[in-house]
């Protein structure tokens, strides 16, 4: 599959885009939504279908925790309370991951950016590589369904942030206070598409794929 991009209402292939000497052929996706909205679940299917590199800040942080690094110990303390990890920590992790994976078709960002500052940093990092976000896909799920799903996952995931309803509700509050406005940031560039996140996993995947196919060439 050849990968192009959309600017305004115009679709460009990698070979006819303006400034071909500069523009990147990579296509980057942000999969956005509150905790438990299906980002991780859908990411697995999307990377298999489109051959993108999956970058989940939650997974990167859990690896640091499992390896008992100083960064992991600091992150665990915050994650166990349902709070966000500081911007400079997650931006540093993403910056290293971008540098370590320069030959890929594109990145699927899962759970990142979670603040406007993270979004601005990501745009700058991609710009340094002559790239930009192709589409921002936002999953919409009711709060009660989120709590139900996460408590259910907590029965088997071993994740300490999934077992306590109060912590789960703190994560949702943190999302409402600090993260939901990231969609407004990308809306100013006409990149946001809302996707209903309740229903079967396959139906939601099909809805996401339809939007990606309309933008990838
Ligand atoms: P994440 O690892 O990003 O986890 P999440 O938001 O809880 O999960 P996700 O949304 O991917 O789960 P999914 O719906 O797939 O973050 C964890 C913590 O890390 C954060 O709270 C924060 O502290 C920290 N962190 C991460 N990134 C950060 C950043 N950028 N800045 C600062 N801090 C950061 O799965 C949920 C459940 O729903 C699963 O059991 C799944 O099977 C089920 N499910 C999925 N789709 C379904 C469907 N359609 N129907 C029914 N069930 C479904």
Report all structural domains of the chain as residue ranges with CATH numbers, in order of start: 5-15+26-216 (3.40.50.300)
- Closest residue to atom 47 of ligand 1, CA basis: 38
CA of 200, closest atom in ligand 1: 49
| Euclidean distance between CA atoms 14 and 1, whole angstroms | 11
- Tell me how far apart the terminal alpha carbons of the chain are, to the nearest angstrom: 7
The pLDDT of residue 135 is 98
Q: What is the pTM of this model?
A: 0.88
The pLDDT of residue 23 is 66
CA of 42, closest atom in ligand 1: 15
Which whole-number Å values give the CA distances from 194 to 138, 142, 184, 191, in the listed order?
Answer: 5, 14, 12, 10
Structure tokens at 116: 């406007």
Structure tokens at 142: 């009711």
Pocket of ligand 1 (CB under 6 A): 35-41, 57-58, 61, 78-79, 83-85, 90, 111-112, 114, 118, 149-150, 152-153, 161, 171, 201, 204
Which among 58, 139, 163 is the best mutation to test ligand 1's pocket, defined by most ligand atoms within 8 Å of the CB? 58
CA of 35, closest atom in ligand 1: 6
**Residue 59 CA, ligand 1 centroid: distance in Å:** 10
Per residue, what are the HEC states of 161-183? HHCCHHHHHHHHHHHHHHHCCHH
**Residue 144 class from Cβ within 10 Å (0-12 exposed, 13-18 middle, 19+ buried)?**
exposed
Which among 30, 32, 35, 64 is the best mutation to test ligand 1's pocket, defined by most ligand atoms within 8 Å of the CB? 35
The pLDDT of residue 63 is 96
Which among 34, 43, 61, 63 is the best mutation to test ligand 1's pocket, defined by most ligand atoms within 8 Å of the CB? 61
| Contact predicate 24/17, CB 8 Å | no
| Euclidean distance between CA atoms 22 and 148, whole angstroms | 47
Per residue of the chain (217 residues), what is the pLDDT tens digit? 434 444 444 443 443 333 333 567 899 999 999 999 999 999 999 999 999 999 999 999 999 999 999 999 999 999 999 999 999 999 999 999 999 998 899 999 999 999 999 999 999 999 999 999 999 999 999 999 999 999 999 999 989 899 999 999 999 999 999 999 999 999 999 999 999 999 999 999 999 999 999 998 7
**Residue 182 CA, ligand 1 centroid: distance in Å:** 16
| Contact predicate 4/12, CB 8 Å | yes
| Euclidean distance between CA atoms 181 and 97, whole angstroms | 25
- Backbone φ, ψ for residue 131 (5° rounding): -120, 175
**Residue 39 CA, ligand 1 centroid: distance in Å:** 6
């Amino acid at each position: 599959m050849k990968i192009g991009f959309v600017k305004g209402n115009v679709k460009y292939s990698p070979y006819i885009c303006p400034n071909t000497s500069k523009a990147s052929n990579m296509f980057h996706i942000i999969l956005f939504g509150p905790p438990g909205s299906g980002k991780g679940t859908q990411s697995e299917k999307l990377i298999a279908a489109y051959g993108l590199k999956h970058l989940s800040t939650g997974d990167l942080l859990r690896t640091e925790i499992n390896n008992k690094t100083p960064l992991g110990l600091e992150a665990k303390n915050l994650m166990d309370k349902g709070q966000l990890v500081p911007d400079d920590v997650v931006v540093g992790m993403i910056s290293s991951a971008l540098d370590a994976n320069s030959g890929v078709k594109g990145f699927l960002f899962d759970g990142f950016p979670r603040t406007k500052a993270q979004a601005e940093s990501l745009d700058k990092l991609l710009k340094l590589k002559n790239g930009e976000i192709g589409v921002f896909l936002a999953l919409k799920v009711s709060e009660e369904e989120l709590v139900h799903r996460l408590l259910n996952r907590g029965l088997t995931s071993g994740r300490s942030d999934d077992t306590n309803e109060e912590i789960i509700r703190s994560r949702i509050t943190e999302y409402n206070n600090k993260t939901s406005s990231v969609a407004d940031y990308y809306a100013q560039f006409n990149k946001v598409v809302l996707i209903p996140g309740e229903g079967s996993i396959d139906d939601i995947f099909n809805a996401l794929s339809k939007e990606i196919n309309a933008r990838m060439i």
